[in-house]
Amino acid sequence: MTAAATIDPADHETRRRMENLLAMSTRLCAAISTDIAALEKGDFGGIASTDPEIGRLCALYGREVMALKSAGNIKNMPVELVDALRETGGRLSHLLGQHESLVACMREASEGLIQAVAEEVEKSRQRGAPYSATPKPKRQSSSAAIVYNKVV
């Protein structure tokens, strides 16, 4: 019997999944590193994660991780492959944290700019109408007295 014939099909599938995950996580790390560099420079056109292909890769990566966890055959895999996958997963997690903090800073800055512009627009509108006192509400006329006295 050959060595290929003795490999369990489930182990073969798990190994294939792990190798695919390793390749996907490496590609995602490269894309996120590109994003981080672009955000630090202020080059928003150089952000790679807006590419639909990267979005699909993220979704596929999530599904493959869940499938690998549910299979549970990781114990039978070569230690080198498991360690490489663990290392790239840790690197991906670190890069995602760094990316998240940069995006949060950019979001706060842009929200601050929007708030400042809105306040300036409001001030300019108030300056345009010097007599902008709020009008008194109209007195509501009531027909209750007429109906009450049955005059109608």
Q: Where is average pLDDT lowest: 13-17, 19-23, 35-39, 123-127? A: 123-127
Which residues, 6+ apart, have CB-to-CB distance to 116 below 8 Å? Answer: none
Q: What is the mean pLDDT of residues 109-114?
A: 89
- Which pLDDT does position 1 carry in this prediction? 42
Residue 129 has pLDDT above 80, yes or no: no
How many H-runs (helices) and E-runs (strands) does the chain carry?
A: 5, 0
Q: Hey, how many other C-beta atoms are within 10 angstroms of the C-beta on 152? A: 6
Taking the C-alpha atoms of residue 4 and residue 12, their distance in angstroms, rounded to an integer, is: 10
- pLDDT level of residue 36 (50, 70, 90 thresholds): very high
Query: 139 falls in which pLDDT band (50, 70, 90)?
Result: low
Closest C-alpha among 99, 29, 37, 91 to residue 58:
29
pTM higher than the cut 0.95: no
CA distance linking residue 39 with residue 21, whole number of Å = 26
